[in-house]
Structure 1
């Protein structure tokens, strides 16, 4: 399925220097709540207000004041394979949606529909795909089974497995922690959690690594100049001294962070800015479009971006997702210290080390075998068919050891399609025929589809091509691999949460059944955690 690409101040007062902090040691003032005269968070730092108004400005949002924002998701429909045989999209390794959905459910409510990005739920989990053996940065895995929520349809899985890199083989890292220390970051699940998360990562750094800390509130500052990773006490002290207060000038912080990263650039190493924020940029460059253009420009320097989202009622998920996308990076949401450990310790190399960039997938369906198809999720990653061979078009990155999974629901030719899978007819054309003949090659071929992938090396400008074909062999979901059953369970869970018209006859009960069958060894307990989450969602739905 093809869609067109989406369209893409006043200086604030400087923060005071504080003695006793390592390096240049910015300490971000006093918390606004302790001051009788302050500044409302929705005003610039040059606008004094009464103490009462200042307190109103920093008060934690209640249920009546929820400014969280999510981009609307219009689900991918079924597409006629004869008229539109090509489906093109960018890969996605973000996982933020899953941990955010988990936070909603654990707090006793079902998530808003637009907070549920099904591909991020699926890709939160790793799958047992084979390692690459041909010298490429990732291997491609393809399989087909019956669709469990609509048994007359087929379920196609496309899986990528990034090359594993041992921790002692990871190149030296040049990291810049870009930390939001504005007033909205005061609560325990925000800046305090971010500081704990960064400590976990610092403990894993070596003398070959470097880390700097840039902070921003009403203005930005260098809390720690680039320091070798063996100076852990020095780095941790700088983290410990950070306090929250003031408004949020994220653009100024971004500028400084990328400058520090460029000044300490390691050729052939890991060069990355790690941005931790609730995404509520409210002074300086505040428009989403301007922030995205700023990040796009900075991404050309060869410095990659990771975004760690925190917070609840004012979470600007839509902004953070786009910044990570345009910054050649990834986006995770931290709902707990355990999630921080998963992202920054257990999957450290995947988060930090990019092994391929601008990874695009184009699937060509054989209209002699496929009547229609639907890509499950990836709505914000769709590309035009022309974009596949255009190396100027940005796409997603894959990190070391990452797995990426995409699922298609396919209606075979001659199958009884569910009404939701029907494609509306097109009126006859007046000046040319709209009957698109099926070629002799497609009629004679037993192939169901062909998958093409394009990717660039992390420092490359020209893409390389990988191509694989799939033949639909008889196979029922009951006999499908455990990993495929689990991925299908997660996909159906996401569709149920979204109340999707494409969820078929699946229920929370069937999701639990498929997930149990697909749980496998579950070394880290993440799949067991998913099963428990489904049970909680089921109880909330009943209640």
Structure 2
């Protein structure tokens, strides 16, 4: 009887074991140990399956005894049986000796099977529409799968059978007969599936017979329903409503936060060099002005910055005057900068694959690594569909280890920016250096699309994280889907700064020449409040800084966030003012007030305005106030710096089609800049003149 019971329990346990569903994970590679993304993994005899991710990894739920089938275009199908020990199953696939042959019809160059032996596949619009997808940007997908198979993961077109799966071997995209520039691939992938008739894929060197050397990574042919697709820009910018003139007797105070960001200028430079249209909201005049170095004197007193003011006639309007307010931050020698705890937070999502994104980013960050000291430490966090740490806190002396971690980065997947930010701040806080320079350096195109991703969600997240006294630097890369508004929000709310890197030259400037200013804050929450003398000024308007305006009461409110000033940074603000006695269309009449009688104080007849500044030391919460007065007798001579800044503002207003410029002649703007660029050791001012000449020819 006991024997029967034991036998019953034995066979029963075997049945339970076979019915048990377990999670199987693994990685699929080729015979060169390169990851294979998009491999179809199907449970034999069922419709249940998954695909490998960009790194060749997969996870599937299967029963003990099931057989997993691994299939991929151009490779032999592999089979593996699941047993009780099979929680991890790695597979190496072998290239198939038999290549596919079929008629491939290209709308502008027919190729028949006797002319091509390369593999090809066609995906219809119906199959694309049926494919589950998490986001639009994953549009250009292809599948070669068994009928009835249910795809559970996203995959990216990556044509195998080439030498590697590196970004250098990405396929050539041809949409409606027109080859697409590599920088615009992210935009092509954003085409809605319902707008696509079919997608054809050619692979191997034989495809080069049609497209030449550009097809070395294969060809993806997309035919849209319209038949005349044109690349549409997917960049986004926050709306800017140009500052209007305000009457001094009604609004005597003007209050705003400083802005040391310079991203707008380098972004505009990229657009002009590429011959593309410049959206008005991409033009932030304050960032254009502040891109350039000005010969402001260093501070000599107890405060961390010096104040410089000038005023002169406005070059674009004979009836107004121009006021300049300049700040110069104290320059801290690099060897005196406190130890740094830096967390590189790097976007490695699929949208970062283009050459002017992740590849440029890696080169740029090596410039920063070169300047690190032994007492500095660096961590690297990456994020795509998820976030992870790829380099634990490492001394700046171990440059080879840091650079190797950067070099190993590859792009692929969606963009979970919020998750990456949380992990980066967590690591920064765990390694916090008291009285040190604690900073997260975020490098991305800003195209967050998974998890916390909206501007408001990101703003709320960063406002919470900045309480940790960890500062934030945002570096924007790339084009086509660059999200300026998100990066500006992050930088503004994260006690940080924002730059756009379009070339290695710009990387050298931001992470090399201006290393200290970019990464070391000498004053935070810097606010400016200007009071105009109604005896001298009828009306005024602040040029630029539209996204930095504050309420007048915010000036003395230490809970209100404002901009940061870095070591050696300069900040310049320009006001256009209408003097008393000048009849101007910008000064509108208002009705007399019944209950309020505004009386002018005539005791300060020689003063044009008073500027008040408030700032906090980096580790303190209470602000310090400074006061500076600009008198009317300061108009004797005008510096070249002032004239050059005026030319930059003038050009910015022209790009924005401002209603406030009477003279729009670009040649006059160019002449003003050219005659006031003598102090130009780095050549940036000369480059500005060249850019305006290029724009003039567009």
Q: Given the two structures, how large is their TM-score scaled by the length of structure 2?
A: 0.69
User: Which region of structure 1 is more displaced relative to structure 2, 174-183 or 62-71?
Assistant: 62-71
Q: How many residues align?
A: 507
1:42 alignment counterpart: 135
Offset, 1:486:
0.5
Candidates 383, 387, 406, aligned match of 2:554: 387
2:605 alignment counterpart: 445
Offset, 1:51:
6.9
* 1:127 paired to 2:287: no
Contact 2:374 2:397 in 1 (8 A): yes
Contact 2:28 2:56 in 1 (8 A): no
User: Which region of structure 1 is more displaced relative to structure 2, 93-102 or 150-159?
Assistant: 150-159
CA distance in 2, matches of 1:284, 1:85: 45
Note the 1:11-410 alignment, pairs <5 A: 29=55, 40=133, 42=135, 47-48=152-153, 59-62=185-188, 63-410=230-577
Offset, 1:221:
0.5
RMSD across aligned C-alpha pairs, in angstroms?
Answer: 2.6
Offset, 1:440:
3.8
CA distance in 1, matches of 2:28, 2:589: 68
2:657 alignment counterpart: 499
Contact 1:68 1:313 in 2 (8 A): yes
Offset, 1:439:
2.7
Candidates 615, 619, 633, aligned match of 1:473: 633
Residues 505, 166 of structure 1: alpha-carbon distance in 2 compared, 3 angstrom cutoff: same
CA distance in 2, matches of 1:497, 1:208: 46
- Structure scoring higher RCO (CA < 8 A, sep ≥ 6) equals 1
CA distance in 2, matches of 1:331, 1:354: 13
1:436 alignment counterpart: 598
Deviations 1:42-70 (CA, angstroms, capped at 9, x unpaired): 179995358779999x9431553322110
* 1:426 paired to 2:590: yes
SS in 2 for 1:94: coil
Candidates 520, 524, 531, aligned match of 2:682: 524
Offset, 1:506:
4.1
Deviations 1:275-299 (CA, angstroms, capped at 9, x unpaired): 0001011011122111111111111
Contact 1:110 1:537 in 2 (8 A): no
SS in 1 for 2:293: coil
1:513 alignment counterpart: 671
Contact 2:381 2:388 in 1 (8 A): yes
CA distance in 1, matches of 2:348, 2:309: 45
Deviations 1:401-460 (CA, angstroms, capped at 9, x unpaired): 00000000111101232x2xx23333445xx3355222343xx52101000000000001
CA distance in 2, matches of 1:300, 1:28: 36
SS in 1 for 2:628: strand
Contact 1:15 1:29 in 2 (8 A): no
Contact 1:165 1:400 in 2 (8 A): yes
Deviations 1:347-369 (CA, angstroms, capped at 9, x unpaired): 00000000000000000000011
SS in 1 for 2:499: strand
CA distance in 2, matches of 1:296, 1:107: 36
Offset, 1:337:
0.9
Contact 2:253 2:529 in 1 (8 A): yes
Offset, 1:517:
1.8
Contact 1:30 1:245 in 2 (8 A): no
Runs of 5+ consecutive residues of structure 1 not aligned to the other structure: 1-13, 21-26
SS in 1 for 2:598: coil
